[in-house]
């Protein structure tokens, strides 16, 4: 595992994706995607996260970001290498997180997979890969 996470952190990267990328939305998340130019090198798809204060305080926002990073990380290898993604959390996502904390598993991951599939990024289930 590399020490540096492939992520977006500069404001200019986010602005480029918002302006030039395409978006897809669900009840829980908004996904912006943008194909990087060929001359820009990267180690696979990069992820940027946006979690508003409407979601909650810093502890809640950091938990949401951690769960979204984990969910994206589980499908990262199945995505195109030359794309950048920005996930924006919507307040109803807190319902899924609450249900996960009560024992249901994989709800946030399923929401991310569903949104990527809606956006046209074909994902192969891990059961199908075997």
Q: What per-residue confidence (pLDDT) applies to 125?
A: 57
In Å, what is the CA distance from 98 to each residue of 10, 52, 68, 85?
31, 18, 14, 25
Cα 22 to Cα 118: distance, rounded to the nearest angstrom = 12
* Residue 44 φ/ψ region, left for φ over 0, alpha for ψ in the -120 to 50 degree band, beta for the rest: left
pLDDT value of position 57: 97
At residue 1, the pLDDT reads 43
Model confidence over 42-80: pLDDT tens digits?
A: 678 999 999 999 999 999 999 999 999 999 999 998 998
pLDDT at 114: 95
Q: Which architecture, in CATH terms, is 11-121?
A: 2-Layer Sandwich (3.30)
| Sites in the chain below the pLDDT cut of 50 | 1-3, 126-130
């Amino acid at each position: 595992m590399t020490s540096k996470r492939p992520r977006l952190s500069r404001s200019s990267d986010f602005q480029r994706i918002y302006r030039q990328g395409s978006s897809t939305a669900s009840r829980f998340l908004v996904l912006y995607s943008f194909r990087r130019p060929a001359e820009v090198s990267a180690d696979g798809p990069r992820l940027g996260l946006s979690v508003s204060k409407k979601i909650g305080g810093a502890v809640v926002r950091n938990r949401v970001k951690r769960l979204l990073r984990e969910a994206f990380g589980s499908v990262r290898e199945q995505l195109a290498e030359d794309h950048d993604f920005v996930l924006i959390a919507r307040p109803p996502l807190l319902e899924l997180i609450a249900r996960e904390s009560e024992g249901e598993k994989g709800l946030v991951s399923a929401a991310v997979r569903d949104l990527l599939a809606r956006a046209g990024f074909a994902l192969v289930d891990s059961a199908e890969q075997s």
